[in-house]
Amino acid sequence: MEKKHQPIKNLLLILLFAICMSVTAQNESSKTCNVLPSEINSEIYFGIDLAEFKKIVGNNLKLETKSNTNFRLIYSQKTNLPEIPMITYYFDNKENKPLYEIILNYQNEKQAQNAATLLFGQPNYNQTEWRTNIQGFPNIWSWVYKNKLVVVAKIPGSEWFDEWDKK
């Protein structure tokens, strides 16, 4: 009688394992599931504080001192990617300094536009911009400016927070 039920037990164990793996993957992705291009390290997410960001990225950052704004910190990172030679990160300059904007500098406008369309589909705001709202994550606003794909998050206190609801 025991041998008769063994295949069912094996199937149940496999099913249980699959469910556990799925839940684990969902929990892991909850931190990073935020419409960032695959060129961005998967451990980076909007709202990450500057100290944690630096631990992930390491020394491959340059603080931009030419900025005359005191409300944000701007870091740039050169890449080895042929299409994206530079990525720029904006951090709010208050409290834990959260990441609220990422600018991917492509070689040309066509590459930036193609990347945006691949990520977000057709524009859904003002005919040239994208607004994304995934429950449990910051709202995302994106657009292409020249050769740059700009991706910003609605992080309280950041420069885009009040602009979000303006038409």
Q: pLDDT of 75-132, one tens digit each? A: 999 998 899 999 999 999 988 899 999 999 999 999 999 999 998 999 999 999 999 8
Shared domain check, 82 and 27: no
Residue 146: CB partners within 8 Å, gap ≥ 6? 109, 112
Assign residue 121 a region: left if phi > 0, alpha if psi is -120 to 50, beta otherwise? left
pTM of the shown model: 0.76
Shared domain check, 78 and 23: no
Range of the domain at 27: 1-32
Q: pLDDT of 126-151, one tens digit each? A: 999 999 887 777 899 999 999 999 99
The secondary structure element, H or E, covering residue 66 is none
**Residue 104: which of 125, 123, 120, 126 has the closest Cα?**
120
CA dihedral 29, 53, 156, 84 (to 10 degrees): -80
Number of structural domains, the chain? 2
